Amino acid sequence: MISLFGVLAISGAGLGAVVINEVELNPPGDANEWVELYNNGAEEQDVGRWSVWIVDFDPTWTGVIKIPPETVVAPGSFYVAEGDRHWIHTSGSGTVILKTEGGMEVDKTPLLTDKSDNFFTNTRYPNGVDTDQRSDWVFGKGTKNANNS
């Protein structure tokens, strides 16, 4: 993860305070996996051309979601990155990494697991909390594109 010094340097460079906020690794039925980003900063952040990587615990599978150009996340707002419906990712486990267009890591989750095949997700609680601890994350009812409860 990024040290306090790194966060200050990133904020000064305009990369801001966008974090991975919620992850659906095992949606019900044929639904897509998705990752919700959250801007916990005070300024809007351009995340266009960034990418979200879902890396399976057995690194033989990686799903990459490209964020469209000119995508901006306002302060206190969400952006949901949808996975590919053709992915075959059956483990329900993975680490999620948010990267800039140049490949710099902005945020990374611990290994998350979801064997539920329902609407439960891994979420940061409260929204955007990032202390680099596993305790930032809880497993509960999904709140896609809304405040985690």
User: Does residue 49 lie within any of the structural domains?
Assistant: yes
How many structural domains does the chain have?
A: 1
- Binning pLDDT at 50, 70 and 90, where does residue 16 land? low
Taking the C-alpha atoms of residue 37 and residue 43, their distance in angstroms, rounded to an integer, is 15
Is the alpha carbon torsion for 143, 45, 69, 97 positive or negative? negative
Which residues, in sequence order, are CB contacts of 104 under 8 Å at separation 6+? 15
User: What rounded mean pLDDT belongs to the chain?
Assistant: 87
What's the CATH code of the domain at 137?
2.60.40.1260
* pLDDT (tens digit per residue) in 85-142: 878 777 889 999 999 999 999 999 999 999 988 999 999 999 999 998 999 999 999 9
User: Does residue 147 lie within any of the structural domains?
Assistant: no
72: containing domain: 4-141
Task: Report pLDDT for 149.
Answer: 83
